[in-house]
Structure 1
Amino acid sequence: MRIVFIGGTGRSGTTVLAKILSSHPNMMAFDFETRFLVDPDGLLSLFHTWNNNWSPYTASKALVRFHRMARELSSPQNLKHRILEKLFLKLGSSYQRYRHVPFQSVIDSDQFMAKTDEFINQLTEGSYTGIWYGTESFSINPKVYVSKPKSRDDLLRIMRSYVDSLFSPVLKKENKEIWIDHTPFNMLHAKELTLIFPEARFIHMRRDIRDVIASYKGKDWGAKDLDLLINWMRGFYDKWDSIKSGLSEESFKEVWLEDLVEDPEKETNELCELIGVEPHFKDMNQDLSFSNQGRWKDDLSSSEIVKIEKDLSRFFYVSS
């Protein structure tokens, strides 16, 4: 299985590009961000625990949290869940961490958890019921995993095999060869993802930072304070700049959303060269009008625009 990781700041066009590339006969992207590789408690959290911070305690806690995340990702969203979600939102609280990641729409829930249990069994010697310091409150029959350190090569092999066991059957069913994941912060973990998936390709979706900030301000998960948003964007690009300097030129490409809207054929042809496929798309007539270019002119105040120009001007889009 081959993988293409698309990422960016968020609100930068990652989903748009994933939909375009999915119209290629060899590529497939889900309609949602998978999250489980790079989010806290995800696969990379496990990797860091085993590779850098293994102890019987840290390993068990990391596995408990990963198993919980997998269970939440794979759980069907029925009427009860939707009612509880609305109730908790009215109370200003969160009901379920991954309520908008419908993995069960592409991978059967039981199969997802069976593959996850097989994966955990390869990392452990067994488990028992017990309570340690730090066990989550109100846990019923909490599980403690028993494990041993593993070499990095063994760890990477086991993780690669696990991901392949989840997604290769989906690709085979759809007669596809390449899986596209468009979780935005993929780019900030490109170094670790390359260790697990050496043949992976990375696409950094960029967008005029003024439009990105304007979009963030309209979301319930985005900061409303401009100084916080500016620091958020600086942090992302500081990290990305340090990471991309260590990547091979043939493994990644940066694409501006504005260029993609202006000339989608040119941009996708270059991406196909990066990925190693012929540029044969079933549908290149994607509606890109919803990209909201220049929304910052209406959504940001004059004082906000001045401040962004002062602090983040190097992230403005300049037409070529």
Structure 2
Amino acid sequence: MQFIFIGGAPRSGTTLLLNLLESHPDIVGFPFEHKTFEQYFWHNGDINYLRENFIKNSREGQQAILSSEYLINEYVRKIRGYYGKEFSVDIDPKLFLATYLNRLSISCGSLQDVFDGLAQGILDSNSFALSKKERLEYFCFKQPYFTELFAKETSKELPEARFIHVVRNPIARYTSAKKRFLDIYGHAKNPVHINRQNTVFAHAEVDVTSYELALKNQRNIGGQRYLIVKYEELVSNVDVTMNKISKWLKLTPHYGWKTSRLGEEADAGSSYVTRRGVDEAAASRNEQYLRITNQAEREYHQYLLTKSKIGKLYGIESHVNTKMLIRFVLNFFYKESLGQYVYRLLTVFNNIRVLSFGSKALPERVKKKNAGLSGAI
């Protein structure tokens, strides 16, 4: 059994790709995002940690949710409340936990052992996954951003692993992320902070560094193991793109891109998608972008992206002038306390400096525990 790891900035289509891949009869996927990469490397493969908090404490990652009936029920309740739609997790938590712990009990706690335990846990505890076990070729995991952040280390420990990075137009991705934030939390139209960082910078930082890391990983790991897929191509022509991915994986192309990990039709996971299946209109969010942002916000956002590689990929241009800077300085003030307003002004020019000149150094910073990005991941 080989592993596929899906990465990309959050809201880039990683959930959609996982569901589409899992419609292939030779692929099974892990149903939640996991935190294996960061937790494993941050804890230096500590076997005691991997047998305890990693798999039993939900704060350590969504993989722990599957080990407890209570945590599964709480997660289902939360998702139903957020999105107002039916949601279920067809997992036997006792079987999942027992299988994982059994694998770790006979191992030294290598990264291979952890992923073997998680994968085998799903195969033993989910009937749909079990039905595909006989012809299984790949087991697929998805984790936005941290997949590309630790791809180099992972590729050395798992030399057969494949990586797929999904890149999406930052305008559409920002719109999707902000719309989801507003839908769930019901904040004001212009939320201005994520973990004490300006919202616009927080998302631009993730877009810039995520794509930069993907390009670097593809060069270092090689195109045979590291593939970059554009979200827009995935949703506009799913058959062509998925056939390309199947051939890259050396699998027979499969045309029924409908069935997700629970045996249901694939769902893009986007707050804009009201029906199941692939939403071709999701490729562009320009109308929604204009509706939920203001002019100063858009100008600042596009300015942060214009010098980056992902900005050039999508033709994002910004024309900075005095009026734009004045608008941004004055904007939001009536929705912020004086302290927040001053804090934002003090950080904004440093934000511009970081993304313009220091983005290559950011990944090394976030590889350290408790020294993460601005909060958009």
Q: TM-score, normalised to structure 2's length? A: 0.58
Q: CA deviation at 1:242?
A: 3.7
1:105 equivalent in structure 2: 90
Please point out which of 278, 287, 298 is paired with 2:291.
298
Higher RCO, 1 or 2 (CA under 8 Å, sep at least 6)? Answer: 1
Mapping 1:10-49, distance limit 5 Å? 10-30=10-30, 32-38=31-37, 40-41=38-39, 43-46=40-43, 48-49=44-45
Please point out which of 261, 283, 286 is paired with 2:235.
261
Q: CA deviation at 1:167?
A: 4.2
Contact 2:9 2:206 in 1 (8 A): no
What SS does the corresponding residue of 1:199 show, helix, strand or coil? coil
Q: CA separation in 1, counterparts of 2:238 and 2:158?
A: 28
2:331 equivalent in structure 1: none
Q: CA separation in 2, counterparts of 1:18 and 1:181?
A: 8
Superposed CA offset, 1:166-210 (max 9, x none) = 245454433451222222232322223323432221111111011
Change (3 A) 1:281 1:25: farther
Question: Which structure carries more helix by proportion?
Answer: 2
2:188 equivalent in structure 1: none
Code of the residue aligned with 2:32 in structure 1: it is: E
Task: Flag structure 1 segments of 5+ consecutive residues without an equivalent.
Answer: 51-58, 90-100, 124-149
1:68 paired to 2:29: no
1:198 equivalent in structure 2: 159
Code of the residue aligned with 1:37 in structure 2: it is: T
Q: CA separation in 2, counterparts of 1:84 and 1:278?
A: 38
Q: CA deviation at 1:257?
A: 1.1
Please point out which of 172, 177, 180 is paired with 1:211.
172
Change (3 A) 1:162 1:45: farther
Task: Flag structure 2 segments of 5+ consecutive residues without an equivalent.
Answer: 58-62, 186-192, 259-265, 267-276, 316-377
What's the RMSD between the two structures over aligned residues? 3.7
Superposed CA offset, 1:33-68 (max 9, x none) = 241423x54x4545x245xxxxxxxx6556542243
Q: CA separation in 1, counterparts of 2:4 and 2:161?
A: 6
Change (3 A) 1:203 1:293: same
Code of the residue aligned with 2:237 in structure 1: it is: D
Please point out which of 306, 309, 315 is paired with 2:310.
315
Change (3 A) 1:19 1:116: closer
Q: TM-score, normalised to structure 1's length? A: 0.67
Superposed CA offset, 1:113-162 (max 9, x none) = 22333344345xxxxxxxxxxxxxxxxxxxxxxxxxx6xxx835544543
Please point out which of 246, 249, 256 is paired with 2:220.
246
1:118 paired to 2:108: no
Contact 1:23 1:281 in 2 (8 A): no
Superposed CA offset, 1:238-269 (max 9, x none) = 44444333212100211111112222222112
Q: CA separation in 2, counterparts of 1:45 and 1:305?
A: 36
Matched pairs, number = 263
Contact 2:65 2:72 in 1 (8 A): no
